[in-house]
């Protein structure tokens, strides 16, 4: 069984602190900073065993070396980004597995935001740590990959079970939702979602985790089939789903 603590840091980042309760093994996902993690570990009396990095950006790996020095933890990251993940010990690729006690995390390659981006999926716990590939009501900006690559990556995540809980690395939901409404103002699921999000944020509560089912119903980057969305992005009959996605992503970049 996993317990998950959400540590808000910087302007809108989340570090996740995972604890497998039987083995008492602990991992930090995408530690932008070391001190909030160390403070949480001291408060709980836990020892850090692993860092799980989804990609190389500084607001995801900034705490790596300090945490490794302080705790002796092992750092897991993409083999493709071995040179860009500070302190990496375990280089992983598509289909590899990382064990945190009884919880088995499968590695899925999701290039797009960066070329070496990976996500961590535990089927038994129905949990996905997806970094900056998939956001609540959004997806990552294409800094290194192509729209086609990101679309293919999102197809992998769409194929996960509907009740998979999604833990992404940023609190972007409200801003993403404002854009989503420009494409699907007539989507009742999205309208309800935005009401819930507004209530959560007014009370300074996280809007995460989301689920695959909820994202499929409300996230414009998973809804290239929607007639309203296709009209809003000026898609034509010849456009492939990936091209519809690319048009939506381009509009978001200018929003």
Residues annotated within the binding site are: 55, 57, 59-60, 113, 132, 170
Residue in 30, 49, 56, 60 annotated catalytic: 60
The beta-strand segments (E) located in the chain are 2-9, 13-20, 25-29, 50-52, 74-78, 90-92, 97-100, 103-109, 118-122, 127-131, 134-135, 138-139, 165-168, 210-211
Residue in 30, 49, 56, 59 annotated catalytic: 59
**Crossing angle of helices 173-183/188-202, nearest 10°?**
160
User: How far apart, in Å, do the first and last CA atoms of the chain sit?
Assistant: 41
Residue in 30, 56, 113, 117 annotated catalytic: 113
> Which residues contribute to the annotated binding site for Zn(2+)?
55, 57, 59-60, 113, 132, 170
Residue 170 DSSP code: B
Residue 132 annotated in active site? yes
CB 121 within 8 A of CB 155: no
Residue 59 annotated in active site? yes
Residue in 30, 49, 55, 81 annotated catalytic: 55
Residue in 30, 57, 81, 117 annotated catalytic: 57
Active site residues: 55, 57, 59-60, 113, 132, 170
């Amino acid at each position: 069984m996993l317990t998950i603590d959400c540590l808000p840091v910087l302007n809108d980042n989340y570090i996740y602190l995972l604890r497998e309760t039987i083995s008492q093994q602990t991992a930090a996902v995408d530690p932008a900073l070391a001190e909030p993690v160390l403070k949480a570990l001291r408060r709980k009396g836990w020892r850090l065993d692993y860092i799980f990095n989804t990609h190389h950006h500084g607001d995801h790996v900034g705490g790596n070396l300090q945490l490794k020095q302080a705790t002796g933890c092992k750092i897991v990251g993409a083999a493709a980004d071995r040179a860009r993940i500070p302190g990496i010990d375990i280089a992983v690729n598509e289909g590899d597995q990382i064990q945190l006690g009884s919880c088995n995390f499968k590695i899925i390659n999701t290039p797009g935001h960066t070329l070496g981006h990976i996500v961590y999926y535990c089927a038994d716990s129905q949990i996905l740590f997806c970094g900056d590939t998939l956001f609540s009501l959004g997806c990552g900006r294409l800094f290194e990959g192509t729209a086609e690559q990101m679309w293919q990556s999102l197809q992998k995540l769409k194929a996960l079970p509907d009740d998979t809980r999604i833990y992404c690395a940023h609190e972007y939901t409200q801003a993403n939702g404002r854009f989503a409404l420009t494409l699907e103002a007539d989507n009742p699921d999205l309208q309800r979602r935005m009401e819930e999000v507004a209530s959560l944020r007014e009370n300074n509560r996280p809007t995460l985790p989301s689920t695959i089912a909820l994202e499929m119903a409300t996230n414009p980057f998973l809804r290239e089939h929607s007639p309203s969305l296709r009209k809003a992005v000026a898609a034509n009959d010849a456009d492939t789903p990936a091209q519809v996605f690319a048009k939506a992503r381009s509009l978001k970049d200018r929003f």
